[in-house]
Amino acid sequence: MATHPKPTGEPVVLGYPAAGIAAPLPSTTAYTYATPRPDPYYADPRTGAAFSANHNLLLYRILIAAAVAFLLVGFISFFLWLFLRPSAPVFIVSSATVSAFNISSPYGPSPQLSSSFNLALNVSNPNKKMGVNYFHVAAAVAYDGVILAETALSPFYQEGRTFTTLQATLTTRQEYVGLDVARGMSRDRATSGAVRFDVIVEAWVWFKTSAWSTSSSVMKVYCEGISISLINETVTSGSMAGPTKQCQVNIGW
């Protein structure tokens, strides 16, 4: 026959501790785990930090590459300029004539000029290895800084160490020239039998070799003091007096 334990008078505990009974203390030998520190180069992509760092690094490398390329091109251009530095073309007025020259009322209130100038300019390229391109070419005749006539000329190319001649015809027909210009030319004719004109040539030029070329620059040619014989006020034509005249050439490099 089965026997049952005798009651002891103490409550039976099932599940959570019963009231009045203290819970067991935690173990003092529990394993502690240190949380690892985040790597700044491999940050959580959800924060955008990794993408920003890579993007900045790419921009930095692009800027460095662009700066190196710019310096390299600059050094190459500089050394090419030193070894292949072009000399300016040489312009010489070899012939100058005028016909149908007439100043109406030189001492009146509105003097007018009619004329036809014919010019010949010898142009030589002194560079051995560089050709010259001339475009937007224009020629003018002036007196005392005042343009009397001007015309456009055809563009052309000139090989190194070559020579060519520019022909230009400039006409005016009853153009107002001002009292100072009209009286000055009339005075020159009366005192010296000649009038001193200035010839001006302007063009855009660039020099080139087979492997290198300069940028386009403005060239201005000044041929001052071209004396044309006009013996008196009744003579309507004349030609260049004296030898040929070399011009001053300026290029805005």
Residue-wise pLDDT for 95-127, tens only, equals 999 999 999 988 888 999 999 999 999 999 999
The pairing of strands 112-124 and 248-251 is unpaired
Please report whether residue 7 resides in a domain: no
Please report whether residue 193 resides in a domain: yes
Distance CA 76, CA 58 (A): 27
Residue 152 clears pLDDT 80, i.e. is over it: yes
Q: Which residue shows structure tokens 């008196």? A: 232
Average pLDDT of the chain, as a whole number: 84
Please report whether residue 183 resides in a domain: yes
Please report whether residue 133 resides in a domain: yes
Please report whether residue 117 resides in a domain: yes
Please report whether residue 69 resides in a domain: no
Q: How confident is the model at residue 73 (pLDDT cuts 50, 70, 90)?
A: confident
Whether the CB-CB separation of 91 and 247 falls below 8 Å is answered with yes
Please report whether residue 142 resides in a domain: yes
Please report whether residue 12 resides in a domain: no
More confident residue, 37 or 56: 56
More confident residue, 144 or 18: 144
Quick one: pLDDT at residue 154?
97
Alpha-carbon distances, residue 193 vs 156, 167, 199, 237, 239 (angstroms): 37, 26, 19, 12, 12
Residue 11 clears pLDDT 80, i.e. is over it: no
Beta strand spans in the chain (E): 90-104, 112-124, 131-143, 146-153, 156-158, 163-176, 194-208, 217-229, 238-239, 245-246, 248-251
Q: In total, how many domains does the chain have?
A: 1
Residue 157 clears pLDDT 70, i.e. is over it: yes
Quick one: pLDDT at residue 216?
94
Amino acid at residue number 149? A
Residue numbers of the domain that contains 200: 90-251
